[in-house]
Amino acid sequence: MKAAAPKGALELANRLRPVLLQLNRQLRGETRALGITAGQATLLHLIRTTPGIGAGALAEREGMSAPAMSGYVARLEAAGLVTRTRSGLDRRRVGLSLTPAGVRVLRAVRTRRTAWLAARLEALAPGEQAAIDASIGPLARLLETAP
């Protein structure tokens, strides 16, 4: 029996939201086997894409307090994944960067998550894969209009 077509944006949102949440939960769970949390993987990604970012700016970007972020950064530093470097221009400013081990862990997270998703996509029929492929553009546009 074929499911009824959605009656509008609200119904579509109610059907899509739990699927996206569960998919996100599954992908985030793939990091645990690597000995880091999904939140730590997110911070590693942000540090990699914003070299030299400070803990305060990172906290602001993630919507948390600077002291809480300092604790997270300290744990990443203790694990050998992140290093703090004083600015040559302003000795009060400390920037963050990934260590080679941090780069390896982040690469492993991406590889593991991609493999998990690819295995599930391979189990779908070609038409289902095509439907997902066709939805990527519109889903990406949802993020472009996000506040």
User: Quick one: pLDDT at residue 86?
Assistant: 74
User: Quick one: pLDDT at residue 34?
Assistant: 87
pTM of structure? 0.78
Residues 106 and 48: beta-carbon distance below 8 Å: yes
**Burial (Cβ within 10 Å: 0-12, 13-18, ≥19) of residue 102:** buried
User: Quick one: pLDDT at residue 3?
Assistant: 58
> Is the domain defined by 35-144 classed in CATH 1.10.10.10?
yes
Residue environment code for 31-60, b if the CB has 16+ CB neighbours within 10 A, otherwise e: beebebebebbebbeebbeeeebbbebbbe
Domain coordinates in residue numbering, the chain: 35-144
User: Quick one: pLDDT at residue 94?
Assistant: 77
In order along the chain (147 residues), what is the average pLDDT of each group of 10 residues? 67 93 91 89 94 90 91 94 79 84 95 96 97 94 77
Reported as type and span, the H/E element at residue 108 is: helix 100-122
